Amino acid sequence: MSATPVFGSRQPDVSYTDRRAAYAVILAPDGAAVAAVFSRNHYFLPGGGSLPNEMPEQAVVREVREEMGRGVRLIRPIGEAIQYFYAATDDRHYRMWATFFIGELTDTLPPGSGEHELVYLPRAEAEKGFFHESHVWAIHQA
């Protein structure tokens, strides 16, 4: 079994908060674009932080519903990755252990149900568009 990929770098003398998260790579029907959430001037894969004792599958389904007002069907796991990053909104450094899945959108909730708008970012722009390097890795794995 291969080692878990690590993105970002751990800085010495910096305290990191551990964070579990789960995300879905959802491709457009033609496969040329990937679903993204635009927040705080950055793109993210749909998903987010896990609640205590929440399985990754549960976390990504809950987060997609909250963020985009959509249901998601998880097709298969992609893998896990570790991402070190600084969140200016929290003024905190994180060590995020993320689980990634390939998924597809299902139902739509009433307009305004989601916190963010669903956008499709061309796969060719993923390298520069996503905030987390681990999200780009997951897109390439899908």
Number of domains in the chain: 1
State the pTM of this model: 0.92
Give the CATH number, domain containing residue 105. 3.90.79.10
Taking only the tens place, the pLDDT of each residue in 6-41 is 999 999 999 999 999 999 999 988 888 999 998 878
Neighbour tally for 95: CB within 10 Å:
15
Each residue's pLDDT tens digit, 54-83:
999 999 999 999 888 889 999 999 999 999
Radius of gyration, CA atoms only, the chain: 15
Question: Which two tokens mark 105?
Answer: 């959108």
Q: Is residue 1 part of a domain?
A: no
The pair of structure tokens assigned to 7 is 């993105």
Range of the domain at 71: 6-141
